[in-house]
Structure 1
Amino acid sequence: MDFLELPKRTTGNRSYGLTSIVDFGTPIGELEHILKDYHPFIDIAKLGIGSAYVTPNISQKISLYQAYGIKPYCGGTLFEKCYLQQKLPEYFAWLKQLGVEWLEVSNGTLDISLEERLQIISRAKDYFYVIAEVGSKDSTQEMPISEWRAEIELLLDAGCKYVITEGRDSGTAGIYDQNGTIKSDLIQELIKGLDCRKIIFEAPTPKHQMFFINEVGANVNLGNVKLTDALILEAQRQGLRSETFFLEEQEWKLLL
């Protein structure tokens, strides 16, 4: 029975308002129990770092996510490892064999030029839905805001379905400083002129998530969410936590 007035949430096969969780090796039995209850709140599952390559039951795990309508993909670290060893054709074939339809193209560890990434995306988009990542895992590296904006626009124009803003699972790089503080000036500039429905902001902690919910709206795309936090995040999105209690009853705070 619905009797509260809450922010309107996208549902079903969402194109925005996404929750992208990170799986760092959840046992498949535990995963099945969690997804049975919480799958309506999860849209995408990133198999963190390069863990997919050494997961014994990787095919079963991918099939389980897909059975619940969740899109699995491998973390960008595995892409970069394959790029470094010149094994991208083998990597793409492996993903196809597993039935993985989404591909992350990143440069969080390696310095892969934007031109090279755009070329890879141009080739890969015929076979995968491509997600690209902007920003470095090195917290000492700073990108001007103009470069963030330009790179996001170029990646989307190249055919990426979404662009991820780097934040690491610790929330201490990319859009965050070394202490985990959000670079709010950067975020304010990014949400002014870009389509936030195409950006996934990495937000690994409830504090980070609440910032984006309040700044962008209930249907902001959030990534690197812990699997066990899926329900809590949905409650935050619907104004059911003190820090989001007065969230406006609307679908998209800034854009719609």
Structure 2
Amino acid sequence: MKTIQRTDWHPTLLDPTGTREAKPRISGKTMIMDKGLGWNAFEDMLETAASHVDMIKIGFGTSPLYPHHVIKQKIEAAKARHISVYPGGTFLEVAVANNLVDEYFQTVRNLGFTGVEVSDGTIELDRSARSRLILKGLDAGLTVYTEYGKKCWGSTIELRSLIQTVAMDVRLGAELVTIEGRESGVGVGIFDQNGDCKDEQILEVLANIPNRNLLLWEAPQKSQQVHLIRMLGPEINLGNIGAQDILALEALRRGLRSDTFIFPNQPKAEEIYELNYDI
């Protein structure tokens, strides 16, 4: 059942783009990165913006640093609002490096997390090891999100590797493949040393991926979110969004900010994209 947001506003004032879908949605997903919110702040975030959040990632390896009752409260509150919640991929990499993968998955399940992120942003995982982790997550009843890209400064997208990774991860059952952008959005993946998007690489990736809804782009900076929405449309999947920026991003998606303002009879973002980018 889709989550319907009650509103007194005229539908066009609520969403001038006319594109936003209620949850659960297959595109236009927003992933929030929780880097250490206390319980009251987390609860306030959900009270204010839960209908605009699809996934919450408990960033990095912070999950075991919370008091037990706080992390349990967070997980249960997210689940009650139909939000997927999972630990950061770096934490699984720590488990792999210390040969504690079974213990990791057991605790993830015991705590009630609904998802897991499989990544190799810091360590090296060969294809067989990556595949085993994806299947292990699925066997544990978790939604599996994978991530492509290294976290080191200056890392870039290798197109052939990305295409192969997306194809295999999705074939095995991954829900989404995240394009690494870190929490900074600078000097990594699709972002240059100034945090600007590498448009040529983005278009090349999309030209070689059968379905853009398979990808989630980490874009922590407002300028990056604006650029990607204007370039690819409001239904792009975006991640590593700050908790304080949820409504601001949703306003960008709906054309409720000057950066993405839609005038009557103006082509919508995806139509502009089709006119200017023939991929």
- TM class by shorter-chain length? over 0.9
2: distance between equivalents of 1:7 and 1:212? Answer: 18
Report the counterpart of residue 162 of structure 2 in structure 1.
148
The letter of the residue matching 2:18 is P
The letter of the residue matching 2:97 is L
1:75 aligns to 2:91 (yes or no):
no
2: distance between equivalents of 1:222 and 1:141? Answer: 20
1:84 aligns to 2:97 (yes or no):
yes
1:250 to partner: Cα distance: 7.3
1:159 to partner: Cα distance: 1.4
Is the contact between residue 9 and residue 251 of structure 1 (CA under 8 Å) also seen in structure 2?
no
Instruction: Tell me which moved more, 221-230 or 186-195.
Output: 186-195
1:218 aligns to 2:234 (yes or no):
yes
1:64 aligns to 2:77 (yes or no):
yes
Report the counterpart of residue 230 of structure 1 in structure 2.
246
1:27 aligns to 2:38 (yes or no):
yes
1:87 to partner: Cα distance: 0.5
Structure 1 segments, 4+ long, off by >3 Å, are 246-254
Match of 2:144 among 111, 130, 138: 130
Structure 1 spans left out of the alignment, 5+ residues: none
Report the counterpart of residue 215 of structure 2 in structure 1.
199
2: distance between equivalents of 1:86 and 1:245? Answer: 51
1:6 to partner: Cα distance: 2.4
The alpha-carbon distance between structure 1 residues 222 and 202, as it changes in their structure 2 partners (threshold 3 A), is same
1:13 to partner: Cα distance: 1.5
2: distance between equivalents of 1:69 and 1:159? Answer: 20
Identity %: 32
Is the contact between residue 121 and residue 159 of structure 1 (CA under 8 Å) also seen in structure 2?
yes
Report the counterpart of residue 58 of structure 2 in structure 1.
47
Provide the secondary structure at the position in 2 that maps to 1:6: coil
2: distance between equivalents of 1:248 and 1:12? Answer: 25
Provide the secondary structure at the position in 2 that maps to 1:197: helix
2: distance between equivalents of 1:171 and 1:201? Answer: 10
Report the counterpart of residue 8 of structure 1 in structure 2.
19
Provide the secondary structure at the position in 2 that maps to 1:204: coil
Provide the secondary structure at the position in 1 that maps to 2:139: coil
Is the contact between residue 229 and residue 269 of structure 2 (CA under 8 Å) also seen in structure 1?
no
The alpha-carbon distance between structure 1 residues 143 and 200, as it changes in their structure 2 partners (threshold 3 A), is closer
Q: For 1:67-92, what per-residue CA distance to the aligned partner results, in whole angstroms no more than 9, with x for missing partners?
A: 22211100011010001001110010
Report the counterpart of residue 277 of structure 2 in structure 1.
none
Is the contact between residue 230 and residue 269 of structure 2 (CA under 8 Å) also seen in structure 1?
no
Is the contact between residue 8 and residue 251 of structure 1 (CA under 8 Å) also seen in structure 2?
no
Is the contact between residue 130 and residue 160 of structure 1 (CA under 8 Å) also seen in structure 2?
yes
2: distance between equivalents of 1:91 and 1:19? Answer: 26
Structure 2 spans left out of the alignment, 5+ residues: 1-8, 275-279
Is the contact between residue 7 and residue 249 of structure 1 (CA under 8 Å) also seen in structure 2?
no
Return the TM-score normalized by structure 2.
0.86
Q: Pairwise CA RMSD of aligned residues?
A: 1.8
Instruction: Tell me which moved more, 59-68 or 229-238.
Output: 59-68
2: distance between equivalents of 1:235 and 1:142? Answer: 30
Provide the secondary structure at the position in 2 that maps to 1:91: helix
Report the counterpart of residue 160 of structure 1 in structure 2.
174
Report the counterpart of residue 260 of structure 2 in structure 1.
244
1:119 to partner: Cα distance: 2.4
* Larger RCO, structure (CA 8 Å, separation 6 or more): 1
2: distance between equivalents of 1:28 and 1:248? Answer: 42
The letter of the residue matching 1:68 is R
Provide the secondary structure at the position in 1 that maps to 2:121: coil
